[in-house]
Amino acid sequence: MTDGAKTIIGIRSVTKRFNGNVLAVDDVSLDIKSGEFFALLGPSGCGKTTLLRMIAGFEVPSDGSVEIDGQVVDDVPPNKRPVNMVFQSYAVFPHMTVADNVAYGLKMDGVSSSEAKGRVEEALGLVQLPGYGERMPDQLSGGQRQRVALARALVKRPKVLLLDEPLSALDAKLREAMQLELRNLQAKVGITFVMVTHDQDEALSMADRVAVMESGRVRQLAAPRDLYEFPNCRFVADFIGKMNLFEGVVKSSAGSEISVGIDGIGDVRLPFDGSAQGKIGIAIRPEKAMVTADKPSDEDCLSLEGQVTQVAYYGNESHVFVKTASGLDFSVTTQNNERSVVAATNPGDRRWVSWRRKDTLVLAE
């Protein structure tokens, strides 16, 4: 994905109301670039699936319009749109063989049966199901059915492949393998993928760009790294990964610094580029903070003293929960990269929690 790539899907101020008043998508505008892996991420009911279905043509926007490859498609029925979808339930036709399933779209397009045969074989090879053509869907595992659904959509060489929660029905191990495989497949075929998911790991690990949605609106659109390191609001900060969130008030801002009064921490100066005033959110990722026995002497660090309330051990890492003297609950993720550190922190211990000023996020929204 490059910034210069052309827009393949343009969402133009799209609003969708159901039954006249339930607002599912609220004035969303997006540019999805040709060749990118795009994810729509959000909790259930945030409007991401509705948005996907409007691209596919199963829902019509109440306001605004959808463009595919520069053309407004609001009056184009789903069967005439150059996009194909992989359904959450896969929707592999149970009364047809795998080959007939994959050939279905080609048959509808009037592709000759000899050409279709070759393309079906090719598509089944692409999803690593060569020679499965004669099987019936009920002879396949869930993962295999999903590959059939993928092949069935990709064989039509759509401009955009839409994926509705593609991995949600798979078990955890298979899901992880499919994440990589889908990513590789997308790179191989070069088709734009638009994926809907509620799973942030999926979105972060697979997509080039992620749009985080909440209550029908896009709260942030960014590359996974930026989304995680620079969330633009409390919702995204909290939704993506884990976060220590505190409330603060802006005292003054000058240049690239801001002076903030944080509840339970006190007045601190933080590096900040934007403009903010009044009440703000202060956020620190658990893995960006440290737990130490003594107060760090580093000037760039902010420190709080507190008592360890709980240590949750996960093997590779531990989550240490500290209640500070001022009453804040702080969670710190520590890597267990030495055997000896495991037992170094126990509930009841008095510890210092510290983090670097530059790792502190200031959230205006």
- Which residues here bind another protein, judged by CB under 8 A? 56-58, 77-80, 83-85, 87-89, 91, 93-95, 104-105, 108-109, 149, 152-153, 156
Residue among 92 and 280 whose Cβ is closer to another protein: 92
Q: Minimum distance between the CB of residue 87 and another protein, rounded to whole angstroms?
A: 5
Residue among 93 and 228 whose Cβ is closer to another protein: 93
Candidates 87, 97, 89; CA nearest to 138 is 97
Residue among 72 and 108 whose Cβ is closer to another protein: 108
Q: Minimum distance between the CB of residue 146 and another protein, rounded to whole angstroms?
A: 13
Residue among 47 and 105 whose Cβ is closer to another protein: 105
Q: Minimum distance between the CB of residue 273 and another protein, rounded to whole angstroms?
A: 45
Residue among 195 and 210 whose Cβ is closer to another protein: 195
Q: Minimum distance between the CB of residue 188 and another protein, rounded to whole angstroms?
A: 22
Other Cβ atoms less than 10 A from the Cβ of 188: the count is 9
Cα separation, 356 vs 113, in Å, equals: 64
- HEC string of the chain equals CCCCCCEEEEEEEEEEEECCCEEEEEEEEEEEECCCEEEEECCCCCCHHHHHHHHHCCCCCCEEEEEECCEECCCCCHHHCCEEEECCCCCCCCCCCHHHHHHHHHHHCCCCHHHHHHHHHHHHHHCCCCCCCCCCHHHCCHHHHHHHHHHHHHCCCCCEEEEECCCCCCCHHHHHHHHHHHHHHHHHHCCEEEEEECCHHHHHHHCCEEEEEECCEEEEEECHHHHHHCCCCHHHHHHCCCCEEEEEEEEEEECCEEEEEECCCEEEEEECCCCCCCEEEEEECHHHEEEECCCCCCCCEEEEEEEEEEEEECCCEEEEEEEECCCCEEEEEEECCCHHHHHHCCCCCEEEEEEEHHHCEEECC
The residue with tokens 């972060």 is 204
Residue among 104 and 228 whose Cβ is closer to another protein: 104
Q: Minimum distance between the CB of residue 125 and another protein, rounded to whole angstroms?
A: 20
Q: Minimum distance between the CB of residue 111 and another protein, rounded to whole angstroms?
A: 10
Q: Minimum distance between the CB of residue 171 and another protein, rounded to whole angstroms?
A: 21
Q: Specify whether the backbone of 192 is left (phi greater than 0), alpha (psi in -120 to 50) or beta.
A: beta
Q: What are 3's two structure tokens?
A: 């910034």
Residue among 94 and 142 whose Cβ is closer to another protein: 94
Q: Minimum distance between the CB of residue 137 and another protein, rounded to whole angstroms?
A: 11
Residue among 1 and 96 whose Cβ is closer to another protein: 96
Residue among 41 and 149 whose Cβ is closer to another protein: 149
Q: Minimum distance between the CB of residue 91 and another protein, rounded to whole angstroms?
A: 4
